[in-house]
Amino acid sequence: MKGIWAIPVEVQCTDSQKEFVEAEAQKIITKLGPGMEIPETHAADLHAEWQGVKRVPDDKAARWTKEEQYAELETDTADSPVILYLHGGAFILCSIETHRSMTARLAEGSNARVFVVNYRLAPQHQFPAALIDAILCYKYLIDPPPGALHAAVDPSKIVIAGDSAGVYLITFRLNNRVV
């Protein structure tokens, strides 16, 4: 495997973006039907990481800022999709770090930028925290706040991928229907 960029970022959104995401999550949750006791959960800032194939020698890249690293990654993948990856782990474990070898292979095999997020885990953060985090990350990609490393990503260029619990966040199935 070639060298891989692993560029950490903090997903920080404006209050209006957080309010939008919370409202969207509530719309999804109301489709679960009456009588569902869902705790009120608010959007939070998250840790994420841009990943992609590094074509720059490590000794040179080690001196670059994360902005310079991301600019190089973006240049190399300008025509490729952006993959939003939601890791598995039964909503209670795993992280960017536990899935890095898998997401690095995904970046290498697709020649794409991969955006991986550490969504909030249970039991410290109950449902719908992980769902809100997934929506927030998508919103972050298409409407980045000032100071984000990336420019707005065209939604038609975003591929959402994941494994296990991450796939559940993508489809959010209940009683054989997608909500």
Integer CA distances (angstroms), 42 to 49, 130, 133, in order: 22, 11, 9
pLDDT for the residue 122 = 78
Q: What is the pLDDT of residue 136?
A: 87
Q: What is the pLDDT of residue 1?
A: 46
What is the residue extent of each domain of the chain? 3-32+41-174
- Burial 14-39, CB ≥16 within 10 A → b, else e: eeebbebbbebbeeebeeeeeeeeee
Please give the CATH architecture assigned to the domain spanning 3-32+41-174.
3-Layer(aba) Sandwich (3.40)
In Å, how far are 5, 59, 68, 89, 113 from 151, measured between CA atoms?
18, 27, 14, 30, 13
Give the pLDDT of residue 167.
Answer: 67
Partners of residue 8 on adjacent β-strands: 49
CA torsion, points 1, 109, 82, 21, in degrees to nearest 10? -80
Residues linked to residue 54 through DSSP beta bridges, in sequence order:
3
pLDDT under 70: residue ranges of the chain: 1-2, 35-38, 89, 91-92, 165-179
